[in-house]
Amino acid sequence: MSNFNIAVVAGDGIGPEVMEQNIRVLDKVGQKFGHSFKYEYVKGGGCAIDEFGEPLPQHTIDVCKASDSVLLGAVGGWKWDTLPGDKRPERALLGLRGALGLYANLRPATLHEALKDACPLKPEFVQDGVDIMVVRELTGGMYFGEKGRKQTDMGEAAYDVEQYSVKEVERITRTAFEIARKRKKHLTNVDKQNVLESSRLWRSTVLEVAKDYPDVELDHLYVDNASMQLIMRPSTFDVIVTGNIFGDILSDEASQLTGSIGMLPSASLGEGSLGMYEPVHGSAPDIAGKNIANPIATILSGAMMLKYSFGLQDESKVIEDAVAKVLNAGYRTGDIMSEGMKKLGCVEMADAILAEI
Ligand code: IPM
Ligand code: MN
C-alpha cells in the first residue's frame, strides 16, 4: 500500500474532461492494488490567465514541485490567441517543463493492431507494425533560447536562438540509449548537422555517448530526411532521439501513423522520479464540452506515470491492457471511428476501459 500526491493541471478546452476520465481510471487501479492517490488541482494555461492574470502562477509551480508527479490535460484556446508570447497559455507548459527540470520527453507512437484501418498509410507500409519511441529534448534549443526583436536593413526582424550544450545533449542521449536498451536496441539520432553548428555539436556528443552503448545500433538522419523516412518505412524505427523543435514536429508526424493524435500519451522526465504526464494532443477548443474527445491519450499518460514515476509496472500494464481490450472489442471515439465499429463518447469510452480493469 502506497500513497502518492499528484498535482493536476487540467488546463483548457478538452483538458478537464479527459482528465476527469483519467482520474476515474487511476482511482480504480488504486482500489484494485491498494494504493491511494491524492490529487491537488492547480491552475495553468488560459484558465489561470482568466483567474490570476498569468498562465503559470507561482503557487502552481510550488504545488507541482512538492508533488510526487504532475498530470496535465491541455492548455490554450482561441480566446488567448492574441496575447503576447510571454503571456500566452503555452507559457504554462514551457514554464513547468523548465521549472521542474523535465528535459526528457518520451512520446511513444504505437499502432494498435485493432486500429490498422485508422492509419492513413496504405496497409503495405505498416504491415510490420509501428512501435516508435520519440525521445525529444524538452528544455533547450530555440524554444528556450534567447529571443527578441531588432532593426535590420530589411526592417524589423525577430530571432530565437538555437543553442545546445554538451551536457544537455549528453543527458538526453543517455536517456534515449537506456530506453533503446530495453526495446529493440536501435537508436536513430535526428539532427541537421549539414547546416547547423548546434547540430554538429549535437552529433559529435551523441557519437561520444554511443561509446558506452556498443550493444545498441546507432544511425543518423537529417531531420528533413527523417520526416520522409517516417512515412516510407515507419516499421524500421525503434527509438528516435532529437532536439526540442525537431522532436515537436516529428512526434506529431509519428502520432498520425497510429491513426489519431488522440491516442498518444507522453512523459516528461528529469533527474529524479518527479515527472509530468500529458497527452500529445492539444486543447481542441472546437470539440470541448461535447463529450466527444478521445480520453485514451490522457489515460495512457496516467499509465506512464504509474510506470515511470511510481515504479508500478503491473498497475500500468493493467491500464494498457484494458485499452487494448476495449479497442479489440470494436469500441471507438469519433477520431478513430471506422465502419462497423461502435462509437462512444468520452465518458462512455472511459466506462468501457473501467469495466476491463
Ligand atoms: C507539445 C506542444 C507544446 C510544445 C506547445 C503547446 C508549447 O506543441 O507539447 O508538443 O511545442 O512543446
Ligand atoms: Mn507539439
Cα separation values, 158 from 137, 190, 244, Å: 24, 26, 19
Residue 248 near ligand 1, beta carbon < 6 Å: yes
Which numbered ligand comes closest to the C-alpha of 143?
A: 1
Residue 90 near ligand 1, beta carbon < 6 Å: yes
The set of residues, in sequence order, having a beta carbon less than 8 Å from that of 316 and lying 6+ positions away, is 303, 304, 306, 307
The answer to whether residues 94 and 200 touch, using CB atoms and an 8 Å cutoff, is no
The answer to whether residues 44 and 55 touch, using CB atoms and an 8 Å cutoff, is yes
User: Which atom in ligand 1 lies closest to the alpha carbon of residue 105?
Assistant: 9
12, 28, 68, 143: the catalytic one is 143
Out of 72, 91, 107, 248, give the residue to mutate to test ligand 1, the one with the largest number of ligand atoms within 8 Å of its CB.
248
113-131: b (≥16 Cβ within 10 Å) or e: ebbbebbeeeeebbeeebb
Between the CA of 248 and the centroid of ligand 2 the distance, in Å, is 5
pLDDT for 260 beyond 90? no
List the chain domain ranges: 1-103+279-357, 120-257
Res 261: pLDDT: 87
Residue 252 near ligand 1, beta carbon < 6 Å: no
Res 265: pLDDT: 96
User: Which of 110-124, 191-205, 285-299 shows the lowest mean pLDDT across its residues?
Assistant: 110-124
User: pLDDT band at 1, cuts 50/70/90?
Assistant: low
**CATH code for the domain defined by 120-257:** 3.40.718.10
The answer to whether residues 332 and 344 touch, using CB atoms and an 8 Å cutoff, is yes
User: Which atom in ligand 1 lies closest to the alpha carbon of residue 266?
Assistant: 9
User: Which of 22-26, 142-146, 261-265, 327-331 shows the lowest mean pLDDT across its residues?
Assistant: 261-265
The span from the CA of 11 to the CA of 276, in Å, is 14
Strand order from edge to edge, sheet including 3-11: 36-41, 3-11, 69-74, 275-279, 265-269, 104-110, 131-137, 239-242, 186-191, 217-222
337-347 mean pLDDT: 95
122 is catalytic: no
224 is catalytic: yes
Residue 93 near ligand 1, beta carbon < 6 Å: yes
User: Which atom in ligand 1 lies closest to the alpha carbon of residue 75?
Assistant: 6
Q: From atom 10 of ligand 1, which residue's Cα is the shortest distance away? A: 248
pLDDT tens, position by position, 116-129: 888 899 999 999 99
pLDDT tens, position by position, 35-92: 999 999 999 999 999 999 999 999 999 999 999 999 999 999 999 999 998 899 999 9
- Looking at the chain, the whole-number percentage of residues with pLDDT higher than 90 is 94
The pLDDT mean for the chain works out to 96
Between the CA of 280 and the centroid of ligand 2 the distance, in Å, is 7
- Looking at the chain, the whole-number percentage of residues with pLDDT higher than 70 is 100
pLDDT tens, position by position, 208-254: 999 999 999 999 999 999 999 999 999 999 999 999 999 999 999 99
12 is catalytic: no
Q: Can you name the residues that pair with 101 across neighbouring β-strands?
A: none
Q: Please tell me the CATH superfamily of domain 1-103+279-357, with its number.
A: Isopropylmalate Dehydrogenase (3.40.718.10)
Which stretches does DSSP call E strand in the chain? 3-11, 36-41, 69-74, 104-110, 131-137, 147-152, 155-160, 186-191, 217-222, 239-242, 265-269, 275-279, 331-332, 342-343
Between the CA of 248 and the centroid of ligand 1 the distance, in Å, is 7
The span from the CA of 309 to the CA of 277, in Å, is 10
